[in-house]
Amino acid sequence: MSTLGGYRSWQQRVGMVALWMLTVAVLLFLIVPLIVIIPLSFSSSAFLNYPIPSFSLRWYDEFFTSAEWIGAVKNTLIVGSLTAILATSLGTMAALGLNRNDLPFKKLMSLFFIAPLVVPIIVVAVGTYFFFAPLRLTGTFTGIILAHTAMAVPFVVITVGATVAGLDENLVRAGASLGAHPLRVFFKITLPIVWPGVLTGAVIAFATSLDEVVMILFLGGPEQNTVPRQMFNGLKYYLSPTITAAATVLILVSVLILALVGWLRQRVKRLQVREETA
């Protein structure tokens, strides 16, 4: 509140206080639905309600020992990891191509790559189902990974594209003029510069697959049971508090990943500033 000293009139101070209150209200609106589920995961009760009678780790024990949940976690990690690898590779190449000034129909192609972000996911899922069914890709991990990759590529294009926009093309031209192969130029010059955007895109691609459930319901079979699908089934058929333990673990993993990416990006910025001042 020390910033209020910079405002002379009482109207400005009231406006500043109202802005702070609105900001806090919006933050609470975004965070409280995530926080409220965490205490329920430690409840000893078999019902999802407050007040909590006593605290227990029984739902975490069921989450980490149940064959269904362990299988769902394994499937989620496999699908998420392969989705991140594919989406990052394709999205990075697309971002580098879209960054070229001589690319024909550049704006149209940019809209094409981000189109999945604006189309409702249920429409994409129905279209993907009817496209994959004749190809026998429904009920397979391959189909789910390809569908998740299509959903995650736009995020990689955006994050990598923002980093590539600051790339000095003269460095790439210098490497090419010295006879270096395009792949060598990419790994020796381009990637060391844009890797924070690539890493961020990979994390977002993994997170996109991690919490996706609509596509799984359309394309997945009994063997493609992921954590979000297991949670959806738990809400639909039997309301088990194990869902809150799974949700808490997912929240913790997401926070750790984002913290790691933020730390790496700050470290890269410090190194770049140190090199510029050296």
pLDDT of residue 276: 60
Is the pLDDT reported for residue 119 higher than 90? Answer: no
Q: Is 40 inside any structural domain? A: no
Q: What is the mean pLDDT of the chain?
A: 84
Residue 50 pLDDT grade (very low, low, confident, very high; cuts 50, 70, 90): confident
Q: Is 186 inside any structural domain? A: yes
pLDDT of residue 85: 94
- The CATH number of the domain holding residue 187 is 1.10.3720.10
Q: Is 22 inside any structural domain? A: no
pLDDT of residue 21: 93
The residue segments making up the domain with residue 177 are 71-276
Is the pLDDT reported for residue 177 higher than 90? Answer: no
pLDDT of residue 222: 80
Tell me how many domains the chain contains: 1
Residue 271 pLDDT grade (very low, low, confident, very high; cuts 50, 70, 90): low
Q: Is 31 inside any structural domain? A: no
Give pLDDT tens digits for 222-254: 888 888 888 888 777 767 788 888 888 888 888
- Please state the rounded mean pLDDT for residues 6-32: 85
- The share of the chain scoring above pLDDT 70, in percent, equals 91
Q: Is 58 inside any structural domain? A: no
Is the pLDDT reported for residue 268 higher than 70? Answer: no
Residue 25 pLDDT grade (very low, low, confident, very high; cuts 50, 70, 90): very high
Q: Is 47 inside any structural domain? A: no
Q: Is 76 inside any structural domain? A: yes
List all residues 6 or more positions away from 54 whose beta carbon is below 8 Å from its beta carbon.
Answer: 43, 44
Residue 116 pLDDT grade (very low, low, confident, very high; cuts 50, 70, 90): confident
Q: Is 161 inside any structural domain? A: yes
Give pLDDT tens digits for 180-225: 888 888 888 888 888 878 888 888 898 888 888 899 888 888 888 8
pLDDT of residue 51: 82
pLDDT of residue 6: 64
